[in-house]
Structure 1
């Protein structure tokens, strides 16, 4: 497990999948805002669930379950995706169960993901894309050192209309100046 101050990131367990499916995926309006792919109905227990993690066969994605350290309860998911080893960059994704919103878990999980990406994987750049009206994610990104780099106008199809996306970036050199020690 990769520990932070409030949460830890660990490998996905089979018991996590139905909880993540029910609370994160089956909330259609929220999931449609969190993923650029269209929502489609997936029955419980399906191998098509986005939370099913196959054995690692490449370095393109690193999926984690987020757990609250004090209770060991599943708080959500976090991942590095589209990991590009040539350019040494990756994208960050996080989604927390509603009961864990507003407790600082998102900030801590992003900080631990950055530690993983920069210190353990040797990446040079991490990037977050989020909807322009996602104030919580933009605030979390700023707290962890990300810089707002631009806006992609009308780039996301969300719940029947186009929305702007914000691009936020963090370089390893910026990370090491601010967070030079382990994420605990």
Structure 2
């Protein structure tokens, strides 16, 4: 496990799936804001949940976020689109509603940076988030990410187009923090 003071990142366990599926996938509005793919009804069982434990891949590192105080699954975190040639990846997190607003997100972004830069040897991390996602933008800025662009009306989110912010962080900038 990669641990901070409040949160840890560990491999996804089968017992995490029902909790993550119920609170992060079945909430259609939340899922629509967190994923660019359209929501469709899926069972949490039978291998249909996006939170199912899968075989490791070279282009993604998927974690369950653990609240260290309670040892409960707090959400998911991942590096995706890992490009080993260009040494870059995208970062994403999604926390269960009851776990938000406690500082976990900010620490999870830091832990993903630690994993990406020190364990994987990446040179750049990037994230895309909705422009109104103040919590993610704040967590990213606290880790040293800078806004690199605004993608106007680029995300279809539950009935309307939304702007997205693109933020990036280089390994040498993170090392200076």
Task: State the shift of 1:44 in Å.
Answer: 2.4
Task: State the shift of 1:69 in Å.
Answer: 1.2
For residues 44 and 127 of structure 1, the distance between their equivalents in structure 2, rounded to whole angstroms, comes to: 30
Task: State the shift of 1:3 in Å.
Answer: 0.5
SS of the residue 2:82 aligns to:
strand
Aligned to 2:41: 41
Query: Which runs of structure 2 are paired with 1:63-102 in the superposition (5 Å)?
Result: 63-102=62-101
Contact 1:117 1:123 in 2 (8 A): yes
Aligned to 2:51: 51
Aligned to 2:133: 134
Contact 1:53 1:63 in 2 (8 A): no
In structure 2, runs of 5+ residues without a counterpart are none
Task: State the shift of 1:38 in Å.
Answer: 0.4
Aligned residue pairs: how many? 177
Aligned to 2:23: 23
Task: State the shift of 1:133 in Å.
Answer: 0.8
What's the TM-score, normalizing by structure 2?
Answer: 0.98
Aligned to 1:4: 4
For residues 112 and 29 of structure 2, the distance between their equivalents in structure 1, rounded to whole angstroms, comes to: 26
Aligned to 1:182: none
Task: State the shift of 1:5 in Å.
Answer: 1.4
Matched, 1:111 2:115: no
Contact 1:66 1:75 in 2 (8 A): yes
Q: Which has the larger displacement, 43-52 or 5-14?
A: 43-52
SS of the residue 2:14 aligns to:
coil
Task: State the shift of 1:71 in Å.
Answer: 1.9
Contact 1:42 1:48 in 2 (8 A): yes
Residues 72-118 of structure 1: CA deviation (Å, up to 9, x unaligned):
11111000001011110000010001111110000011100000000
Contact 1:146 1:168 in 2 (8 A): yes
For residues 124 and 110 of structure 1, the distance between their equivalents in structure 2, rounded to whole angstroms, comes to: 16
Residues 1-33 of structure 1: CA deviation (Å, up to 9, x unaligned):
000111000000000000000000000011001
